[in-house]
Amino acid sequence: MKGSMKFLLPLAIFLILVGFFAAGLKLDPREVPSPLINKPAPAFRLPQLGAADKTFSPEDMRGQVWLLNVWASWCSACREEHPLLMEMSRQNAVPLIGLDYKDTDADANGVLTQAGNPYKLVATDADGRVGIDYGVYGVPETYVIDKAGVIRYKQIGPITEEALRDKIMPLVKGLQ
Amino acid sequence: MIPELGQFALILALLLAAAQSVFSFTGAARHNEIWMTAGVSSARGQFFFTGMAFLCLGYAFYANDFSVLYVASNSNSALPLQYRLAAIWGGHEGSMLLWTTTLALWTVAVTVFSRHLPAVFRARLLGTMGLISIGFLAFILFSSNPFDRLIPAAMDGRDLNPLLQDPGMVFHPPVLYMGYVGFSVAFGFAIAALLGGELSPEWARWTRTWTTVAWMFLTVGIAFGSKWAYYELGWGGWWFWDAVENASFMPWLVGTALIHSLAVTEKRDAFKLWTVLLAIFAFSLSLLGTFLVRSGVLTSVHAFATDPKRGLFILAFLALVIGGALTLFALRAPRVGLGGRFGMVSRESFLLTNNVIMVAAAGAVMLGTLYPLFLDALGMGKISVGPPYFDTVFVPLMMPAIFLMGLAIFARWKNTELPALAIRLKWAFAVSVVTALILPLVMGKWTPLISLGLLMALWILTTAVVSLRERLLKRQGSWLTALINLPRAYQGMIVAHLGVAAFITGVTMVKGYEVEQDLRMSPGDTAQVGSYQFRFDSIHDEPGPNYTAARAHFSVTRNGNPVTVLEPEKRMYTVQTMPMTEAAIEPGLVNDLYVSLGEPVSNQAWAVRIYIKPFVQWIWAGCLMMAAGGFLALLDPRYRRRNKDQQEGEKA
């Protein structure tokens, strides 16, 4: 009996996999609730990309509604949302701050010179410590932070045109 | 009219695929020649009509028929002809049509080149492939029809995504699909063998030819894709561990294991169940890849617009095909038996260990790819897994595999004396270690990873040299004729293994010694990068067919001697208003010089990225060598001779 049971093993493993896929179909890999919603944005002070002598802290943005966009040069999905970020920065609708996550300055600069820089400034989180505070588990992620420094919305994965039109921009307009 | 013809051809193809399965399986069950012949004819008819549908879609693109929704979404009248035709597979519907057309092509190849197979076995093989065709044709007709009309017709099309307007788009998908889908033949062989309950060394020889051809296509297809990413995406990377790249890499790893496992089954009648399981896995992973790309369960740069209905359909199909195959395996495996025995130290044991490592590597890639999905489904949050995971897991797995690769070509079947092996290889080992330690110091930068990478490449090279030398010393006549007269299978193995060495060299050198500089340059500026001087001479506007470009002119010199002229472009595609960077690359055996334009910084100055990529071409050359090795092995006369013997035997 034991001998023939082992031949069922591949099938059993496969069926478990199918179960996961079936569950996965109902989920949207881009939608995640964050425990940080409606909580103050965690404080940090990090050097700026391309200007290592300057630093950035969320405190600097107090009194403004702004977006914090977590990205990295190694993140392929970030390139997907990049044209939208460029469009946003052209329209000047809301200040966009980048958080360069677990990346090297050279690579990050490379991508920005290549594809264009939509950010007002970019803070560099080379070792990912700030990413932990913000609960970054997928890059890109985008946070909408209000005038009081409270996180109001979190977009996981690339910003889509629908998300920008239906969620992010109305929210930003309301907060402003 | 033509699109309706295509639609009609697809429906006929679906009916014929059903006929192909029913006739073949019934004929095999009843040992009825006429039914089995009808199965073969249906398979050929299925190919004819699938091909016709494909050509009809091609015509719609050629004729700019924007009353077809798919054409209007993926093409434009200003798009050059070659890209209009490549746009056939530029979206979801057309990709699926390419998939099923490729499958029909493999099916018809089986009907033509498998006359030597026992009739019942061949019928089961065609029956299995017919079932897969049914699934894909039904999928296209019911959820992804490329012939849907758009009424009223669009004035012009929305254009092909500019990223895809590249020669890479013409070659990469068809070649890759030939590989992906080609594993369906090995899968069919495995199912036919399980149904018959018998696995002979002949079975392994038949399967081996088909598997090797598919594997060659897959190897070349992946290499094309990697090269395309390198020059098109504009920042010089060649592999991103993207979910879709992984989807093509997993079947490659398992396919590589399968080729080696088939060698053992053919020569030694061993590993039978393992080989069958690998044949099932290789194609299952191809299907899995299709599911991952089409269903949207994972995010990826390759993902098309997704639709849950499509995902559900493919998942159900996946469950039926793979689940059915594995159930059959569980039922029949005990009857097939394990096959010949072998010692702890033997070629069999080395190949088995390597096989297990390849499968483990595929498993690790799969875990990394699916991990975000697993956690999400369990409600444990969302993550994304990137290159840090894959690099950390993959490199240590490959090290023992490469070491065994050097040993395995010396080990004898059944049993080998380990001490004797050590004596024969001591020089190869010593030379590899010493060179790997010293070479990086000579090149001016030493890190453990560079040394390790070189050690692996050198080990493959030196063991191959020792093996060649041992063989050639026994020969008479000139070295060259002796070299040419070596068995093709052996030559193939050596070339493919040297391809792996070239590949590892490329990866190691690029990772270790690449030079990257991001600069702000105005016309007239000169930059020193590595030992080269890059002078930004001028920039001017250059109109293209469906874009306008700013084209820069760089002259590259080295110690005052002119080396080359590079002309990178920044293009703006007019229909989708999407900027694209066309890097200019001077490829070389030792160095690639790579210049790409960023954004204009002021009215004169531009952001410029200059790279020197040492040995990067070796990565793709290595892949081509692996494929060439597979080709040489196929030329081995034993495949043809024995097939012919068998045919004559059948006639007599």
- pLDDT range class, residue A31, cuts 50, 70, 90: low
Q: Distance (Å, rounded) from C-alpha B336 to C-alpha B332?
A: 7
Backbone angles phi and psi of B361, in degrees to 5: -65, -45
What residue has token string 């009808």? B38
Sequence spans of domains, chain B: 1-165, 186-408, 516-617
Q: What is the pLDDT of residue B431?
A: 94
Q: Distance (Å, rounded) from C-alpha A83 to C-alpha A116?
A: 9
SS in 3 state form for A119-175?
CCEEEEECCCHHHHHCCCCCCCEEEEECCCCEEEEEEECCCCHHHHHHHHHHHHHHH
Q: Distance (Å, rounded) from C-alpha B28 to C-alpha B23?
A: 8
Q: Tell me the per-residue pLDDT of B305-341, one tens digit each, with 9 for 90 and over.
A: 456 678 888 889 999 999 999 999 999 888 776 666 6
3-state class of B555 per DSSP? strand
What amino acid is encoded at B136 in this protein?
F
When divided into structural domains, chain A yields a total of 1
Assess contact for B595 and B554: CB atoms under 8 A.
yes
Query: Looking at the partner chain, which of A7, A26, A111 has a beta carbon nearest the beta carbon of B334?
Result: A7
> Is A126 in CB contact (< 8 Å) with chain B?
no
> Does residue A136 belong to any structural domain of this protein?
yes
Q: Distance (Å, rounded) from C-alpha B544 to C-alpha B551?
A: 11
With an 8 Å Cβ cutoff, are A27 and B384 in contact?
Answer: no
CA B650 to chain centre: 37
Q: What is the pLDDT of residue B234?
A: 63
Residue A32 has pLDDT above 60, yes or no: no
Q: Distance (Å, rounded) from C-alpha B559 to C-alpha B458?
A: 32
Assess contact for B646 and B200: CB atoms under 8 A.
no
With an 8 Å Cβ cutoff, are A21 and B297 in contact?
Answer: yes
Q: What is the pLDDT of residue B320?
A: 94
> Is A116 in CB contact (< 8 Å) with chain B?
yes
**A residues 43..62 contacting B (CB < 8 A):** none
Assess contact for B223 and B188: CB atoms under 8 A.
no
Residue B391: its H or E element:
helix B387-408
Strands across the sheet containing B584-586: B515-521, B606-614, B591-600, B584-586
- Positive or negative CA dihedral for B325, B329, B330, B335? positive
CA-based nearest distance B597→chain A, Å: 6
With an 8 Å Cβ cutoff, are A22 and B381 in contact?
Answer: no
Q: What is the pLDDT of residue B183?
A: 97
Per residue in B93-111, is it b (16+ CB within 10 Å) or e — as a string? Answer: bbbbbbbbbbbbbbbbebb
Q: What is the pLDDT of residue B652?
A: 36
Q: What is the domain extent for residue A53?
A: 32-175
> Does residue A20 belong to any structural domain of this protein?
no
Pairing relation of β-strands A151-156 and A141-145? Answer: antiparallel
Mean pLDDT on A23-38: 68
Q: Distance (Å, rounded) from C-alpha B609 to C-alpha A109?
A: 10
> Does residue A2 belong to any structural domain of this protein?
no
Q: Distance (Å, rounded) from C-alpha B11 to C-alpha B53?
A: 10
The Cα angle at residue B289 between residues B285 and B295, in degrees rounded to 5: 135
What amino acid is encoded at B39 in this protein?
G
> Is A120 in CB contact (< 8 Å) with chain B?
no
> Does residue A1 belong to any structural domain of this protein?
no
Name every chain A residue with its beta carbon within 8 A of the beta carbon of B280: 10
What amino acid is encoded at B100 in this protein?
T
B156 class by beta-carbon count within 10 Å (0-12 exposed, 13-18 middle, 19+ buried): middle
> Does residue A99 belong to any structural domain of this protein?
yes
Q: Distance (Å, rounded) from C-alpha B241 to C-alpha B387?
A: 6
> Does residue A3 belong to any structural domain of this protein?
no
Residue A137 has pLDDT above 80, yes or no: no
Q: CA-based diameter of chain A, in Å?
A: 72
Query: Looking at the partner chain, which of A75, A114, A138 has a beta carbon nearest the beta carbon of B234?
Result: A114
pTM for the whole structure: 0.82
- pLDDT range class, residue A34, cuts 50, 70, 90: low
- pLDDT range class, residue A113, cuts 50, 70, 90: confident
Mention every residue, 6+ apart, whose C-beta is less than 8 A from residue A108.
Answer: A49, A72, A73, A100, A122, A124
- DSSP letter (8 states) at residue B303: P
Q: What is the pLDDT of residue B52?
A: 97
Specify the CATH number for the domain of residue A39: 3.40.30.10
Q: Which residues of chain B have pLDDT under 50?
A: 301, 303-305, 644-652
Q: What is the pLDDT of residue B650?
A: 39
Question: Smallest Cα–Cα separation from B98: which of B42, B181, B5, B187?
Answer: B181
